[in-house]
C-alpha cells in the first residue's frame, strides 16, 4: 500500500493506493500538526509520496510562500519522495490520459505549473514551472516577496484580497470573477503554450478544476492559429495526491 499526500496552501489531501485503485483517506486544513496526526492514523504503508506547494531543488524546500508553516519535518520511517504539487498534478494527468507532452496548471491558494516532456517531469535546474511568480506588471506585492506576479492577479489569495468577505461565497458557488485578471491568467497560459507546444493544457486544483472550460477558451485568443492544444479541466481534487502515489510507486519499484 502506498500513501499519497498533497500538502496545499489551504488543504491537505491523503490517498491510499494499492497499485490499481485509490482510496480516499482524508482532507484536512493544512497545518503541520494536522498532517502529522492524519499520518499517524494510516496503517502500515510501503512508501509515501509527498506533493507540496513549495519550490524544490534536489529534494529540499527552497521557498514555500503559500504554506502556513516555515519548517517541514514529518520524520517518516518509510521510503518517501517529495515533489512539487503542480509537477505531481501534471504527472498524474500524463499517466491517466496517456499523454507524454503536456502542461498542468493548478489554481488554488496559489498558481503552479508542471511540465511533462516525453512522459517525464521537466525540472530544469530544479525550479522549472513557477508560472505563478512570473512578472506580469504593476506594484502589487506577492506572497513570495516579489511584486506584480501572476498570482497577484488570479489566485485564491488574490481573489480573497480583492473581494474580502464576498470571496467565500464566490468559492462556494463557483462564481469566479471572469474579469480582466482572468484574462491575464489566460494570456500567461498562452505564453506557456508557445514555449512548450503541449498537446494538452490541463487545469486543476480547487479553483482551477471548477473554472468554466468555455471561459478558458480565451487562451486561444492569445495564440497563433498553428497552436491548438486541448484544454482539459480536471475536476478531481485528488489528482495531485494521485501523482504523488505514482511517483512513490516508481521509487519503491527501483529500491
The three grid cell numbers given for residue 94, joined into one nine-digit string: 500524463
Closest CA to 89 of 9, 195, 218, 203: 203
- Quickly name the fold that domain 98-233 has: Nucleotidyltransferase; domain 5 (3.30.420)
Q: How far is CA 189 from the centre of its chain?
A: 14
pLDDT band at residue 71 under the 50/70/90 scheme: confident
Q: What DSSP string describes 215-236?
A: HHGGGGGGS-TT--PEEEE---
Res. 70: pLDDT tops 90: no
Give the mean model confidence (pLDDT) for residues 89-100: 97
Tell me: the pLDDT tens digits for 216-238? 999 999 999 999 999 999 999 99
Neighbour count for residue 193 (Cβ, 10 Å)? 21
As a whole number of angstroms, the distance between CA 155 and CA 61 comes to 22
Res. 10: pLDDT tops 80: yes
Res. 39: pLDDT tops 80: yes
Give the residue range(s) of CATH 3.30.420.40 domains in the chain.
2-88+238-254, 98-233
As a whole number of angstroms, the distance between CA 136 and CA 133 comes to 9
Res. 74: pLDDT tops 90: no
pTM of the model: 0.95
Tell me: the pLDDT tens digits for 129-159? 999 999 999 999 999 999 999 999 999 999 9
Correct CATH for 2-88+238-254 of 3.30.450.40, 3.30.2090.10, 3.30.420.40, 1.10.357.10: 3.30.420.40
Q: How far is CA 105 from the centre of its chain?
A: 6
DSSP run (H or E) holding 241: helix 239-254
pLDDT band at residue 55 under the 50/70/90 scheme: very high
pLDDT band at residue 16 under the 50/70/90 scheme: very high
Give the mean model confidence (pLDDT) for residues 90-98: 97
Amino acid at each position: 500500500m502506498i500513501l499519497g499526500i498533497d500538502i496545499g496552501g489551504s488543504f491537505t489531501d491523503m490517498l491510499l493506493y494499492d497499485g490499481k485503485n485509490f482510496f480516499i483517506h482524508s482532507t484536512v486544513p493544512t497545518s503541520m500538526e494536522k498532517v502529522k496526526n492524519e499520518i499517524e492514523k494510516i496503517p502500515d504503508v510501503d512508501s509515501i509520496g509527498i506533493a507540496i506547494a513549495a519550490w524544490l531543488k534536489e529534494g529540499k524546500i527552497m521557498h514555500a510562500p503559500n504554506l502556513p508553516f516555515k519548517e517541514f519535518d514529518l520524520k517518516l520511517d518509510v521510503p518517501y519522495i517529495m515533489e512539487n504539487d503542480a509537477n505531481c498534478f501534471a504527472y498524474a494527468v500524463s499517466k491517466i490520459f496517456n499523454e507524454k507532452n503536456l502542461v498542468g496548471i493548478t489554481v488554488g491558494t496559489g498558481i503552479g505549473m508542471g511540465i511533462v516532456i516525453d512522459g517525464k517531469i521537466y525540472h530544469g535546474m530544479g525550479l522549472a514551472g513557477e508560472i505563478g511568480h512570473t512578472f506580469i506588471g504593476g506594484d502589487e506585492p506577492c506572497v513570495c516577496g516579489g511584486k506584480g506576479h501572476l498570482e497577484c492577479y488570479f489566485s485564491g489569495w488574490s481573489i480573497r484580497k480583492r473581494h474580502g468577505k464576498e470571496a467565500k461565497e464566490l468559492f462556494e458557488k463557483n462564481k469566479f470573477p471572469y474579469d480582466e485578471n482572468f484574462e491575464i491568467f489566460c494570456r500567461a497560459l498562452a505564453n506557456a503554450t508557445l514555449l512548450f507546444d503541449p498537446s494538452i493544457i490541463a487545469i486543476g486544483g480547487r479553483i482551477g478544476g471548477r473554472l468554466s472550460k468555455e471561459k478558458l477558451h480565451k487562451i486561444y485568443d492569445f495564440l497563433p492559429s498553428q497552436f491548438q492544444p486541448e484544454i482539459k479541466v480536471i475536476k478531481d481534487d485528488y489528482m495531485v495526491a494521485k501523482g504523488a502515489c505514482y511517483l512513490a510507486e516508481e521509487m519503491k519499484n527501483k529500491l
